[in-house]
A and B are shown apart, each in its own frame.
Chain A
Amino acid sequence: MLHLILFLLFGLVCVAGAVNLLVQRHPISSALSLVVVMGALAAEYLLLGAEFVAAVQVIVYAGAVMVLFVFVIMLLNAGEEERTQGSRVAMLIGIPGMLVGSLLVAWVLIQHSGTRSAAVGELPGPPKTLGWLLFHDYLLPFEVTSILVLVAIMGAVVLAARPESAQRTGRES
């Protein structure tokens, strides 16, 4: 019972954070709302018995990815968002559209997945089980993903590196 209450509570925090992300006008406030969403998601994972995933969620998303977001916003000193005629139209069409879309998704999920809810500890949670799954049963998808990440890293390096001519003369292009 307590489990369910906590689960719903953190779900509520998560959704509230997501809505706040859209409502806030300042990029930093939005980024911090996203941190709240990540934290609440981690709590949900923890409640489902996936303690390792929860910890990784906090370390990777809340602790590293979002710190970089905040870092970039601070560095660029991004100002407040401006509301124009277009954004009002987007709000008028977007909010009902999003509601219809999410209702559709929820309906499809309930119809086709069977309404049985997962019990705590039913899914693999401990790091050992997870590691076994990742490096044994799902080794190929894991390796493919790692190549994808490697490609992304190399792309970032190529984009960020200064062109050779600028390096020779020592001037920024």
Chain B
Amino acid sequence: MGVGTFIFVSVIKIVVAVVILLTAVAYTVWLERKVVGHIQNRWGPTRVGPFGLLQPLADGIKFIFKEDLTPPHVYKSLYIAAPMIALTCALTSISVIPVGNWVTVSGISTPLQITDLNIGLLLILGVTSLGVYGVALAGWSSNSKYSLLGGLRASAQMVSYEIALGLSLVGVLILAGSFSLHEIVEAQAGTFWGFIPRWNMFQGQFVAFFIYLMAAYAETNRVPFDLPEAETELVAGYHTEYSAMKFAMFFMAEYANMITVACLATILFLGGWKGLPYGPAWLQDLPVFWFVLKVFCFLFLYIWVRGTLPRFRYDQLMAFGWKFLLPLAIANLVITALVVALKG
């Protein structure tokens, strides 16, 4: 492939990925309002378009035309930079997520991801760990007590749960022997006894999957770990002082992070784009369908949990992370390593 073709293909992939991600962000918000509405025996959005489907569009227009208020007491440069950092870090991770295998269009063969890095997983971990700055700086630069408390809670929580999250992934890495997300999915091909798919979740990483799930909820600041923006005590936490598009950027960052986490769970534990091993052949080979289906299930689970569970208390949150998840993750890592070593 020549340099020109390479750049052309890359630009197309980047544009498509970003547009799909932003649309997915908008419609995850819609889905959340709808599902939580039905859980609480309400209708959710119904007025704008059929089933309220145009609601995200209306919300977007509203955010753009709202007054962009900058309170007089903030540290201005950091106050403006914080939402940008949060959104940039949230959108960057999508660049290494593979949604399917290689495809060939008119003689040009390319993987269905923006780029296949050999340290793809580490890139995602690095970028999400930088995303903490957006939240922490927003809390600090707003110069308000609610924001500061929210920012402090968020950074402490994200740093603590990052450790359990990272350790839960190491088992998968040992099984796959690579950091490349593409190769991790490829390592999950095939079945056990012809009917259980060889996904990492069924390869003994069952515990790791649940550690990842819980740590991921904490990393994205979602219920039941949404203490950084606990509205009953902190107004809105770190984004209390933000309005209009700056607030929308935090909002989009949160949902983009949710989608990234769901994609990662799909790739690492549920076999990525690999379908179920039964059913008609054309169904098994649908390229992006299985990936989207699995990600959708995760997002639905996210919303379901939000509609069901109450919030943790802060000391419970820290105790749970450090005293339960972390030792469990280490135990899982040791056992996985032992099993792999004994198998040779």
A13 at the interface (CB under 8 A from B): no
A-B contact count (CB 8 A): 67
Residues on A with C-beta less than 8 A from B122 are: 52, 55-56, 59
Shortest Cβ distance from residue A80 to the other chain B in the assembled complex, whole angstroms: 11
Q: Report the nearest B residue to A60, measured CB to CB.
A: B129
Would you give the 0/1 interface string for A28-44, flagging 1 where the beta carbon is closer than 8 Å to chain B?
10001001000000000
Would you call B321 an interface residue if the criterion is a C-beta within 8 Å of the partner chain's C-beta atoms?
no
CB atoms of A127 and B139 under 8 A apart: no
Residue numbers in B under 8 Å from A62 (CB-CB): 126, 129-130
Count B interface residues, CB 8 Å. 25
- Whether, in the assembled complex, A71 has its beta carbon less than 8 Å from a beta carbon of chain B, the answer is yes
Which of B117, B119, B148 is A74 in contact with, Cβ under 8 Å? B148
Chain B residues whose CB sits within 8 angstroms of the CB of A64 once the complex forms: 129, 159, 162
Pairwise interchain contact A68-B159, C-beta atoms closer than 8 A:
yes
Interface residues on chain A, number (Cβ under 8 Å): 21
- Which chain B positions have C-beta within 8 A of A74? 136, 139-140, 148, 151-152, 155
Whether A71 contacts B136 in the complex (CB less than 8 A), given A55-B126, A63-B126, A63-B129, comes out as yes
- Complex: chain B residue closest to A28, CB-CB: B140
Q: Are A63 and B152 in contact (CB under 8 A)?
A: no
A81 to chain B minimum Cβ distance, whole angstroms, is 15
In the complex, whether A70 has a CB less than 8 A from a CB of chain B is: yes
**Is the Cβ of A126 less than 8 Å from the Cβ of B118?**
yes
User: Which A41-69 residues have C-beta < 8 A from chain B?
Assistant: 51-52, 54-56, 58-59, 62-64, 67-68
A116-128: contact bitstring with B at CB < 8 Å (1 yes, 0 no)?
0000000000110
Specify which of A32, A59, A71 is in contact with B126 (CB 8 Å cutoff): A59
> Which of B125, B137, B152 is A59 in contact with, Cβ under 8 Å?
B125
Beyond the given A64-B129, A70-B136, A71-B155, please list 18 additional residue pairs across the A-B interface where CB-CB is below 8 A: A28-B137, A35-B133, A51-B118, A51-B119, A54-B119, A59-B125, A63-B125, A63-B130, A63-B162, A64-B162, A67-B129, A67-B159, A68-B159, A70-B137, A70-B140, A70-B155, A74-B136, A127-B119
Interface residues of B (CB under 8 A from A): 78, 117-119, 122-123, 125-126, 129-130, 132-133, 136-137, 139-140, 148, 151-152, 155-156, 158-159, 162, 179
